[in-house]
Amino acid sequence: MGNRDGGGSGFAGRLRGWLKRMAAGKTGVPDVTPPPGPAAPAAVCPRPPRSARTAAALEPPNVVVLLGRAGVGKSTLLNALVEDGLGPLPQGGVGPLTALTIRVRFAERPHLRVRYRPLNHLVDLAGQLDSENPDTAAVQTARHLFAGSPYGSTTLAGLRSELSLLLASREPRSGTESPLEVDGVPEVVRAVRAGRMTRHIHLDGNRAAFQREVWAHTAGRISPLVSEIEVGWNSPFLGEGLWLVDAPGTGVANDRYVEASRVQLRTARSALLVVDRSGLDDASAALMRESGFMQRLLAGPLSGDHARLAIAISNLDQPVSDLVRSQPDPSRRWSDHFREIQSAAIRVVRGQLASEIGGLAPGKPETVSTTLQAAKIIPVLALEHQRLHETDPDDPARVSGPEDSNIPALRRHLRIMATGGEATGLRPPGQHHRSTSAGSE
Amino acid sequence: MSGIGEPVLTWYSKQARPFLEQWSPERLPGLDEEIQRLEKLEKAWVRKFQVCFLGNSGVGKSTLINALVDDRMPVLPQGGVGPLTALATRVRHAPTPYFKVTYHTGQKLNRILFILERQILLENGRLDASGQSAPPSDIPLDDEERTEALSVVSDPADPAADSLVTAVEAYKRVASLLIGGAQFDVHSRDLAYLTTGLRRILGLPPKENVAFDPSEEKRIASLRSALDRAKKGEVVRVGLDHDQGLFFQQLRDHAAGFLAPLIKTIEVGWAAEVLRAGPQLVDLPGLGVANDEYRQVTQKEIREAKAVVLVVDRSGVTEASADLLRSTGFLNSLLHETGNDQAEPVLLVVAVVKLDLTADDEKKQARLLGQGQSKRWLDHFDDVCLRAESMIQGQLRDELQKLLETGSQANREDKEAMVGRILSSLRIVPVSALEHVRFHVDDEDDRARISAPDQSRIPAFRELLADAARSRNERIEASLSGSARSLVSRIKNGVEVVQAQWEETSRAEEEAERLREELDGFLAPKRKLMLATKAQYREFLRETMKEKIRAAVLEATDDARKDISRYLDRLRNYHWSTLRAAVRKGGYYDGARLVNLPGEFTLRFEEPLAIVWSKKILAPLRKRTAELGEDYSLAVEEVAVWAQGQGARVNAKLVEALSAEVREQTKQFSSVGKELVDELREKVRLELAEAIEDRVRKRCQKFVEDKLAEGTGVFSRMLNFFATDLTEVVVDAAAKVATRVLERNYGEVEAEIQDLLKKHPDPLEEAAAQIVERHEAVVRKSDRKARQRVLEEATRVLSAVPETGEVS
């Protein structure tokens, strides 16, 4: 909400001062860390373009934080929510892909806004690699940077020399600044050295080129250099200030990720927990408790600091297929079986949630039951939703209509939840399903 | 498969032993002992080859096992919703399908009923938290069980009760599953209803006036009959005859349904080719679901496992799964294997599942990028599998590397060698269980994307498991036949020595006297040398080893201390109320997050102690003892050479037999302490655990008594208490126990050595005595008839020597 205090915020001023010092070659302590959390939109872009300072942007955004176990499919779901076809975020992939907190918001013209980490971050990394027993997280970051994956076999010595080469690299001899390219780690480092800490990329007709940039920054080689990232997408669902924040998956061996998610949850008003068929997982439950989110959830709508929760159950495709196989019945369709599994899944997750929050509010059954009823639980088929709109003959959808995947229902519910229960005044999102593919602009 | 040792045992007891008992009884004690050893080994043969499947709940362990076991039919309940597998289910080979269960007795339910009824009293304000005002209960539990159960019941007024309530919730869920057939159905059945149901199951008079749903009577009846069978100690076996639907319904009720809480063991037999070579697949309860109460089951199974399949999805080996391998002691098993060629090797397989979904995504995204239009789904799948393999390799290396962060330089190298070995023996298998089944079911509506069975990689995984089982069988077979072979040749040597002695023609007394004098002259300097050698060795056993043990314990303690402080650092990320619950419960609390201070401390000692035992104590000891054996052999060899130079005066065959015997005997010298390796592991674990648990509990109690566990600043007070007071006490206690256990263990090895030395007090004298026998013996052997008999018997014994495979 920094940009609401007027143009020249203290933060931006500090940043500019530091950028000047950087440009002058003085590497002071870059105390430009923005106040954490979604409450600091200005941090992404210290000087937002004029178009952003519209009335809509001045409204406090309605943020929904997505959290869940790594690999459960948060990014896939987020993609399905904002786009009927293939959404802007990388989905699937091998390894815990999303290491960053990614914000997705509405933009007429899709964009990628990135804020890079200061150069000192790399200097610190070099220092850590040089120590006798380098921290695993540091080694993984370096591997991600140079080998494209945090898990590889690049030797420590190799990483050290790559990093010192990178730190020593100067402007290219030609003198002209090469355009930023995928895997352009040296280019990013040069830009940062020159004080260009942020980057705005707009979708310019070429969806493939845009996606390459998005994926390189969110999950690819450049991602270790990124401190904050925002994707703007022309999705009616995101209209009127609904922001989706994709937090790093829980249960991954990296405390930095957990801390990032905790920070998000501490201030979040709404969260969408993504679980699979086994339901509520340990790590996510702990995260919600330790960030105080659960407590705010229990506080009730009368408290000023009240939080709201929805739960999406993903990856039910396989249980459905199993059911189809074990009870062959030609009269029943795939979606019939899905409906049957849905109610079972909702019961399970509700029961788990009940015992989780029951533990936090002993002796207050009314509070527990109110909270339980307020928490919407929706089984979704994000991949089926995509299949339905992709219409690939080799890979047909098993659901017959758009509502069958429950993605539209989840969209409706998230809008209601994010705006604090005021559904009035919203365009019924169902009308916007034939959303334009941004690439066709 | 078996029967390698058996002919040896028969031959020995029927033929060789009676012969030796009469003509060379001094050989019997040593040989009898060896025979017992062989029998023990033979028994170990039948020990099962257990392959444990471990992974997060919902990742698809059961689905994977099902695809491995049967191309189409899901044998185990799979793919349902919610945490499915609540117990360890074993699948083994059987020509016709069956499942077999044993049930828990009513004791488990008594406890749950007791806890839930106390909770009712507590919630109604009829009981204070201490249980002092408790009205008498008719539930058959003894005092100790009552006290223990009461510690679970919580007072809602207690601010630290959060975590305890979850424990009661867990029992409520078990009761819900028993009575209503579903774990998570919290609202339809309240405590009064559940306790009434439990009373019906247990046959106790009802306490509350609750209308009971008649549709639940059928389950109650089944549960009652299960308890009845448990009381009689019956095993229930259900075979698959005609009604497949019924069979699977019953299996589901047992493995994942309302009967699951009562199951003690469950085993499924299936005619699966992959199981033919002997592996038993164990489907473990899924981990990582909030408040899961099944961690203990998993730990127990993993400790006994000889192979673990870690099932992961595209996220790979996360910290949680790596931690699991560590906290279950599996990594420790791998560790014990290093530097100890005697222990049975342990196999770690990482199965990466659901990569078919990832391939779907990649295909779509590639299309979006306008590249790889021609790239087929299978190409994407193969590509994803390849990447997953290298990722897992990297992740595991990193996770293992974390284990090495502290420790002395010497141990560090050992540990690094361990990481290298684990990684090189690690097998990574990306598979698609879904595509495999799709391919074989061949449903028009649900087409497989693979076009050949191998493409799912399930067949390769089957081959891997069958191979592991086969090579295990071969290894046991080799070790068994090796032992049998060496034993046979020892027995044979004994018989041959007797035979050779009797073959000797009697010689004149004065010639024997001359021979003895000459031999004495030859041996005199060698005797001196042998005395000195033995004195040195004794010195080594007495002094050097004692010192080594002290130094080793110091080193291990130092390692453990560093490791403990790293663990304690991690506790900073826990919620203070979780830590406080742990402190209040004496250091162990299994709630939202598991806090197991005694367990974690113990693990951190166990590991360095195992290393120092095998590397710093056993290895040098064996080396030194083997050298002594070598000296023995050499000495006898020299005597043999001398004897051969005596021409017809000495029976060449006798000398040869003698020196073969000594060689065979001294082979044992290099494997002293063989049996003690596995025993040590258990001993260290148990004794350390006991001592540490006791200290932690007492210190925690004192902390609570001193009122330090309440008020502001409790979090930092607790962390400080862990890092200073508690760590000191634990390290001190553990060092004492460790020294004691290692010294005692060493004492046993030393006794084993002394025993060996007693059997062969002096090889030189032995050899000399055989060559130049005492006069009486010579006279005795001159009895032509006796000689005839001995020689005939010897020939008969030797002609019946059992086949023990070719000599390596």
- Which of A372-386, B435-449, B624-638 is most confident? A372-386
Q: Do A253 and B319 count as a contact with CB atoms less than 8 A apart?
A: yes
Decide if B775 contacts B512 (C-beta within 8 A). Answer: yes
Q: pLDDT band at B202, cuts 50/70/90?
A: very high
Q: Give B440's contacts in chain A (Cβ within 8 Å).
A: none
- Closest approach of B96 to chain A, Cα-based (Å): 21
Cα separation of B156 and A224, whole Å?
47
Residue B161 has pLDDT above 70, yes or no: no
Smallest CA–CA distance from A391 into chain B, residue: B364
User: Is the confidence at residue B337, as pLDDT, over 60?
Assistant: no
Across B404-420, average pLDDT? 63
Q: Using the beta-carbon criterion (under 8 Å), do B288 and A281 form an inter-chain contact? A: yes
Give residue B145's pLDDT band: very low, low, confident or very high (50, 70, 90): confident
Which pLDDT tens digit goes with each residue over B259-310?
Answer: 988 888 899 999 999 998 888 999 888 776 544 456 666 777 777 778 899 9
- Which pLDDT score is estimated for A398? 82
Class level of CATH domain A63-114+229-440: alpha beta
Q: Mind listing the pLDDT tens digit for each residue in B242-257?
A: 888 889 889 988 888 8
Phi-psi region of B378 (alpha: psi -120 to 50; beta: other; left: phi over 0): alpha
The closest CB to that of B165, out of A86, A211, A359, belongs to A359
- CA of B731 to nearest chain A CA: how many angstroms apart? 25
Question: Mutating which of A75, A182, A278, A348 best tests the B interface, going by the most B Cβ atoms within 10 A?
Answer: A278
Nearest to A211 among B79, B156, B368 (CB): B368
Interface probe with A: pick from B158, B315, B323, B371, most Cβ of A within 10 Å: B315
Contact B290 A356 (CB under 8 A): yes
Please name the helix (run of DSSP H) or strand (run of DSSP E) that holds residue A236, with its range, or none.
Answer: none
Please, what is the average pLDDT of chain B? Answer: 80
Neighbour tally for B658: CB within 10 Å:
24
Q: Determine phi and psi for B755, rounding to 5 degrees.
A: -60, -45
Query: Among the ranges A36-50, B335-349, B724-738, which has the highest mean pLDDT value?
Result: B724-738
Beta carbons of B291 and A356 less than 8 Å apart: yes
B728 vs B666, higher pLDDT? B728
Q: Which of B156, B184, B363 is facing A362, going by the closest CB pair? A: B156
The residues of chain A scoring below 70 in pLDDT are 1-60, 96-98, 170-183, 252-257, 326-328, 362-363, 421-441
Q: Cβ B390–A152 below 8 Å, yes or no?
A: yes
Strand order in the sheet with B263-270: B236-239, B98-103, B263-270, B89-93, B279-283, B49-55, B307-312, B347-352, B427-430
Q: Do the chains contact at B593 and A282, CB–CB below 8 Å?
A: yes
Least confident of A7-16, A287-296, B347-356, B619-628: A7-16
Greater pLDDT, B1 or A151: A151
Q: What is the pLDDT at residue A2?
A: 38
Mutate to test the interface with B, among A77, A78, A94, A203 (most CBs of B within 10 A): A94
Lowest mean pLDDT among A158-172, A201-215, B55-69, B197-211: A158-172
Best CA proximity match to B162, nearest among A224, A246, A364, A170: A364
Q: What does the pLDDT read at residue A1?
A: 38
Instruction: Look at B394 and A341 and tell me if their CB atoms are within 8 Å.
Output: no
Calculate how close chain B gets to A86, using CA atoms only, in Å.
8
Neighbours of B292 (CB within 10 A): 20
Domain positions in chain A = 63-114+229-440
Residues A394, B165: C-beta atoms closer than 8 Å: no
What residues of A are in contact with residue B390 (Cβ under 8 Å)? 149, 151-153
> Which residues partner with A200 through β-bridges?
A113
Nearest to B621 by CA among B759, B736, B530, B745: B745
The pLDDT, as a whole number, for residue A292 is 87
A175 versus B324: the higher-pLDDT residue is: B324
User: How much is the pLDDT for B160?
Assistant: 44
What tens digit of pLDDT does each residue of B743-772 get?
Answer: 887 888 788 777 777 776 677 777 777 777
Model confidence band, residue B59 (pLDDT cutoffs 50, 70, 90): confident
- Of B768, B51, B45, B48, nearest to B427 by C-alpha is B51
A391 phi, psi to nearest 5 deg? 45, 60
Q: Give the C-alpha distances (Å, rounded to integers) separating B665 from A34, B41, B541.
A: 77, 19, 20
Q: What is the pLDDT of residues B443-471, one digit of tens each?
A: 777 788 899 999 999 999 999 999 988 88
Strand ranges across the sheet with A226-233? A198-202, A111-116, A226-233, A102-106, A242-246, A62-68, A270-275, A308-313, A376-379
Nearest to B394 among A90, A151, A321 (CB): A151
Q: State the pLDDT confidence band at B341, using cuts at 50, 70 and 90.
A: low
Which residue of chain B comes nearest to A278, CA vs CA? B82
Q: How far apart are CA B551 and CA B593, in angstroms?
A: 37
Chain segment B506-532, per-residue pLDDT in tens: 555 667 777 778 888 888 888 888 888
* Number of Cβ pairs < 8 A linking chain A and chain B: 244
**Angle between the A334-360 and A365-374 helix axes, to the nearest 10 degrees?**
150
Q: What is the pTM of this model?
A: 0.77
Q: Is the pLDDT of residue B1 over 50?
A: no
- The predicted structure's pLDDT at residue A178: 47
Count of C-beta atoms within a 10 Å radius of residue B671 = 13
CB contact under 8 A, B315 and A355: no
Contact A279 B434 (CB under 8 A): no
CB spacing of B318 vs A253 below 8 angstroms = yes
- Check A70 against B78: CB less than 8 A apart: no
For residue A315, list chain B residues with Cβ-Cβ distance below 8 A: 357
Q: Which residues of A touch B63 (CB under 8 A)?
A: 318, 322
User: CATH says B49-95+271-456 is which class?
Assistant: alpha beta
Q: How many CA atoms lie within 13 A of B7 on its CB side?
A: 14
Beta-carbon separation of B437 and A358 below 8 A = no
Q: How far B113 CA sits from the closest chain A CA (Å)?
A: 19
* Alpha-helical regions (H) of B203-243: 217-231
| Cross-chain Cβ contact B368/A92 below 8 Å | no
Q: Which residues of B touch A95 (CB under 8 A)?
A: 314-316, 391
* Chain A residues near residue B446 by CB distance under 8 angstroms: 321, 324-325, 398
Write down the pLDDT at residue B81. Answer: 62
**Among chain B residues, CA nearest to A368:** B187
Q: For residue B713, give how far its alpha carbon lies from the nearest alpha carbon of chain A (Å).
A: 17
Whether pLDDT at B496 is above 80: yes
ipTM value of the model? 0.76
Q: What is the pLDDT of residues B544-554, one digit of tens each?
A: 888 888 888 88
Tell me the chain B residues in contact with residue A334 when contact means C-beta distances shorter than 8 Å.
445
Give the model confidence (pLDDT) of B544-598 as tens digits. 888 888 888 888 888 888 888 888 887 877 777 778 878 887 887 765 566 788 8
Chain B residues close to A325, C-beta within 8 Å: 74, 437, 441, 443, 446
Tell me whether residues A322 and B57 touch, CB distance under 8 A: no
Task: Sort out which chain A residues have CB atoms less than 8 A from B182's CB and list them.
Answer: 347, 351
The angle, 0 to 180 degrees and rounded to 10, between the axes of the packed helices B714-721 and B676-705 is 140
